[in-house]
Amino acid sequence: MINEKNGVFTLSSTNTTYIFQANKNEQLEHLYYGSHLNEASINAKLLSTKYMQNAGTSTLYEEDSELNLGLMKQEVSTPGKGDFREPFAKISYNGGMTTLDFVFDSYEIVSAKAKTFYALPESYGSREEADTLRVTLKDKELDIKLIITYGVFSLCDVITRKAELFNYAKKNITIERLSSLQLDIDQDDFDLITFDGAWARERHINKRALTPGIVINDSKLGASSATHNPLIYISEKGCSEFSGKCYATNLIYSGNHKEVVEVTPYNQTRILTGINDSTFKWILHPNERFSTPEAIMSYSDKGFSSISRNFHYFANNNIVRGYWKNKERPVLVNSWEAFYFDFDDTQVVKLAKKAKEIGAELFVLDDGWFGDRNDDTSSLGDWQVNTSKLSEGLGNISSKIHKMNMLFGIWVEPEMISKNSNLYDKHPDWAIIIPGRKPSVGRNQFILDLSRDDVISYLEEALSNIFLLGEVDYVKWDFNRVFSDFYSSNAEISNMGEFLHRYYLGLYKLLDRLTRKFPKILFESCASGGNRYDLGMLSFMPQNWTSDCTDVYERLFIQEGTSFGYPLSAMTNHVSASPNHQTLRVSDIESRFNVAAIGNLGYEIDLNTISGNELEQVKEQIIFYKRYRKTLQFGTLARIDKMSTNKERAVWAVMNNDKSEIIVLDFRTRTISNPPLERLQIPIVDNEAFYEVFNRAQKFDLSVFGDLIYHFLPSNLLKGKAVEEISKIMQLNSEITHHRVYGEFLSKAGLILNQEYGGTGFVNEVTRVLGDYGSRLYVLKKLEI
C-alpha cells in the first residue's frame, strides 16, 4: 500500500514500512525503513533529521542555513551542495560541471506493477500483489528530470526501485553514474554480507564488520559474476537466521554492477546499487531518456531466513514469467560429464534409454553436437548439427527421445564465436576484438557483439531453426568467458562507455524475442556454472545452472549462499560421478542425491557405467523426489545450521507454504570415532501441529565395512569372496526413523537421532551409518489432530 499525505510518502508491506518526504526545500528526505508502523503512529517530524549546530567544516544549503545535506538521509543524492558521501547520481554537463539539485515536481500512485521501460527486465505484479509510486524530480537549474519508481510488493515485503533520467535541455549531458537504489540508514553498527567466489565455488558467504569508510562489492567482468554477486545483506550485530534486524538488496541486471556501502563519521550507513560506473559513461542527447535496471530491497527483524524467504517468493511470483512460472520442473539427465565432447548417435540413444529407465523426464544433449566441435577450440557460432557425430540428424535424435516419452533439450552458447568457425570467416567484425590489438582470449573463444542488430537477427534465426528442427523442449544457454577488450564495431556506438550496457540491452532483446516465440521451452541460464546468476537472467530463464562443481561437500557452500537471494526453483543441481570430476572427492550416491534434491534435480553421470546397485538406488531417489518435488522446488529454505558457519554440519529445512510438508537435509562432514548422540531440532515447524517424521530409506554397500564384514556375514558361503563381490549381491538398509510428535517438541526439544556407528557394533536398520560427507533427508508431514 502507498499513501501520500502532506508530502510524506508511506510505503507499507505486510511487515515493513518505508517513509520519505519532500522536505521544506522540496528535496526527498528519507525518513524510515524498518518494521511495520501503523499509519496513525507515524510522525514524520520526529523522523526527520534534526538540524543541528553545524560543525566547523560543514557546508550548508544555500536556501536553508540550517540544512546540512551531508547529514540528511536522502532518496537521491548528487554532488555539489554539501553531501560529500558517495552520490546516487553523477551527471556532467557544460564541460564537466557535476553540481545538481533535484527537487520534487510531481507524483503518481498506480495499483499493480507494470513495466514502464521495455528494454530491461523488470518485476511485475497484479493489483492484489503490488502498487507503484512514481516520483518526478527536476533539477533546479538544468532542464532535466528524474523519475524514481518504487514498487511495493506487500506479501513478500519487497520494495523495488529504479531511476529514469530525461534530458529536456538543448545540450548533451553525460551520465557518469546513475544508481538504481539508495538507502540511507541512521545506524552504523552493521555487518556486511556478500556472496563471493570464482569458477566452481560461487556465492560463498562472506561476512565482515562495517567500519567508517567505503566498501565496494562489484563486478567488472562484463557479467554479474561469480566473483561478487549483486546480492548483499547488512545486518545488526548478533543477527541470526531467525532473529535480528537485517536489510538486503539485489539488482535485476546481468552486466557489471556496483554496490557501495559507506559508513559516515555521523553513524550513518548509505547503500547504493546499480550499473558499475567504472565501465560506464552514457551520453544523453536532448529529448532522450535513460533507464537504470531495477533494484530490490527487503527488511526483516526476524533474521536472514526471513529475507531469503521474501526473495524466494518474489523471484517465483514477480520475476519468473511464462509457462514455467510455478510449474514443476522435470528431472533431467545431462550428457556433459558422461561424454564431454566424445559421443555419437548410438551412445546418445543408449544414455537416453537409461535416463528413461531411471525415471528421468528430460534428456539434455550438452556441448559438442554442432559444427565441427570435438573440443573447445572451434565452431561456436555455427549452429548446425555435427553430422559426423549425429549422422541421424538432430530431428531424428529428438524424435527418438520424444518417442521414449521424454522431453528433449540441447546446449547452446549463442553469445560466443570461435575464430575457427564459418561464422568468423564470414563476419570477423562481429567478434569483440579491437582492430589492431591482439585480443585476450577465454576458453579459445570471443564474444559476439550483441549491441548490433544484425548479430541479434542472425542469432534469432539460427537458434529458431535449431529449436524447431530439434523440437526442443529445454535449452541450456551457456556463456563461458567474460569480457576483455571492450570495443564495438557497431557504427551507432561512438562512445565505448555505452558498449557493455548496450550489449545487455541487445541480449535482453534477443531473449525477449526467443522466449515469446518459444513460450514453452524451459530455458536454463548457465555461465561456466554460476558466473551470471542474477535476477536479470531469471526474468527470461526460470532456472540457472548453479555451479560446474557438483561435489557433494563444496555444493553445500554454493547452494547455501545462493539460497540467500534465489529460490530453489532457480537452482539446478546434478548428481555426478564419484570420485567427483572437480575435486576427486569420493562420496556416497545417496548423499549426493540428498544435496542435489534441494532444488531442481538432474543426473550428469554415465548411467551405463554405474553399478547395478547404484542404478536401483537412483530409481528410488527419483521416485522420492517426484513425490516431494513441489516442496523441494517451490518451498522456501530455512538454514537451521549452516555449513559455512560451522564447517561440520548443515541442517536445511525446505517447507511449503503452510508448513504441512517439510523436508530436512541433515549433512555431516566428518565421522568421528565413538560419536556422541546427535539431536535434530527444527525450529521452523508449526508448533501447534502434529507431525509424522520419517527419514528417506537409503541403501548402503556392505563394502563400507571393509574386511569387518567377514566377522558378521550371514552365510559361510560368502566368506571366501572379496568385499566388492559381496557388495554386488547385498546392500543394507539405513536406520529407520519414524515418529509422531508435536511441532512444539520438534522445535524446542528436538529428536535424538539413532546412535551412529561407533566402532563397537552394528544393528541392521538401527545403527546410523553416515560416513564422511554422509547425510539424511527427513520428511515431516502434518497430521490431522
* Alpha-carbon span 272 to 25, nearest angstrom: 23
| Residues of this chain, 356-395, that bind ligand DGJ according to CB under 6 A | 366-367
The least distance separating ligand DGJ from the CB of residue 426, rounded to whole angstroms, comes to 23
Task: Annotate each residue in 545-564 with x if it binds ligand DGJ (CB under 6 A) or - if it does not, as one string.
Answer: x--x----------------
Task: Annotate each residue in 330-359 with x if it binds ligand DGJ (CB under 6 A) or - if it does not, as one string.
Answer: ------x-----------------------
Query: Measured from the CB atom, is 147 or 526 closer to ligand DGJ?
Result: 526
| Residues of this chain, 396-415, that bind ligand DGJ according to CB under 6 A | 411
* Alpha-carbon span 535 to 705, nearest angstrom: 47
The least distance separating ligand DGJ from the CB of residue 379, rounded to whole angstroms, comes to 11
The least distance separating ligand DGJ from the CB of residue 485, rounded to whole angstroms, comes to 22
Catalytic annotation present for 548: yes
Shortest-Cβ-distance residue relative to ligand DGJ:
367
Say which of 101, 218, 382, 548 is annotated catalytic: 548
Say which of 131, 478, 551, 666 is annotated catalytic: 478
Write out the E strands in 124-253.
130-139, 144-153, 158-167, 173-185, 190-198, 201-209, 213-218, 228-236, 246-251
Query: Measured from the CB atom, is 529 or 561 closer to ligand DGJ?
Result: 529
* Alpha-carbon span 728 to 127, nearest angstrom: 60
Note the Cα 344 to chain centre separation in Å: 34
The least distance separating ligand DGJ from the CB of residue 416, rounded to whole angstroms, comes to 10
Note the Cα 504 to chain centre separation in Å: 18
Query: Measured from the CB atom, is 529 or 542 closer to ligand DGJ?
Result: 529
Query: Measured from the CB atom, is 248 or 526 closer to ligand DGJ?
Result: 526
Cβ count within 10 A of residue 200: 18
Number of shown-chain residues binding ligand DGJ (CB under 6 A) = 11
Query: Measured from the CB atom, is 358 or 526 closer to ligand DGJ?
Result: 526
The least distance separating ligand DGJ from the CB of residue 199, rounded to whole angstroms, comes to 9
Report how far apart the first and last C-alpha atoms of the chain are (Å, whole number). 38
Query: Measured from the CB atom, is 131 or 548 closer to ligand DGJ?
Result: 548
The least distance separating ligand DGJ from the CB of residue 411, rounded to whole angstroms, comes to 5
Contact of 545 with 563, CB cutoff 8 Å: no
To the nearest 10°, the Cα dihedral for 682, 685, 687, 689?
-120
| Residues of this chain, 510-539, that bind ligand DGJ according to CB under 6 A | 526, 528-529
Task: Annotate each residue in 701-730 with x if it binds ligand DGJ (CB under 6 A) or - if it does not, as one string.
Answer: ------------------------------
* Alpha-carbon span 340 to 367, nearest angstrom: 7
Nine-digit cell at 580? 567427483
The least distance separating ligand DGJ from the CB of residue 217, rounded to whole angstroms, comes to 24
Cβ count within 10 A of residue 712: 11
Query: Measured from the CB atom, is 102 or 411 closer to ligand DGJ?
Result: 411
The least distance separating ligand DGJ from the CB of residue 394, rounded to whole angstroms, comes to 17
Nine-digit cell at 497? 562507455
Write out the E strands in 199-241.
201-209, 213-218, 228-236
Nine-digit cell at 163? 531511476
Query: Measured from the CB atom, is 169 or 595 closer to ligand DGJ?
Result: 595
Task: Annotate each residue in 278-317 with x if it binds ligand DGJ (CB under 6 A) or - if it does not, as one string.
Answer: ----------------------------------------
To the nearest 10°, the Cα dihedral for 375, 380, 383, 386?
-20
To the nearest 10°, the Cα dihedral for 248, 249, 255, 256?
-80
User: What's the length of the chain?
Assistant: 785
Query: Measured from the CB atom, is 412 or 689 closer to ligand DGJ?
Result: 412
| Strand pairing category for 474-477 and 522-525 | parallel
- Does position 569 interact with ligand DGJ (CB under 6 A)? The reply is no
In the block, residue with C-alpha cell 508502523: 37
Spatial neighbors of 763 by CB under 8 A, at least 6 apart, are: none
The least distance separating ligand DGJ from the CB of residue 578, rounded to whole angstroms, comes to 18
| Residues of this chain, 473-512, that bind ligand DGJ according to CB under 6 A | 478, 480
Helix or strand or coil: residue 681? Answer: coil
Element (H, E) at 644: helix 643-646
Catalytic annotation present for 772: no
> Which DSSP letter does residue 706 get?
G
One-letter amino acid at 217 equals N
Contact of 253 with 230, CB cutoff 8 Å: yes
The least distance separating ligand DGJ from the CB of residue 562, rounded to whole angstroms, comes to 15
Query: Measured from the CB atom, is 317 or 335 closer to ligand DGJ?
Result: 335
* Alpha-carbon span 400 to 335, nearest angstrom: 16
Contact of 239 with 303, CB cutoff 8 Å: yes
Kindly list the catalytic residues. Answer: 478, 548
Provide the binding-site residues for ligand DGJ, judged by CB under 6 A.
336, 366-367, 411, 478, 480, 526, 528-529, 545, 548
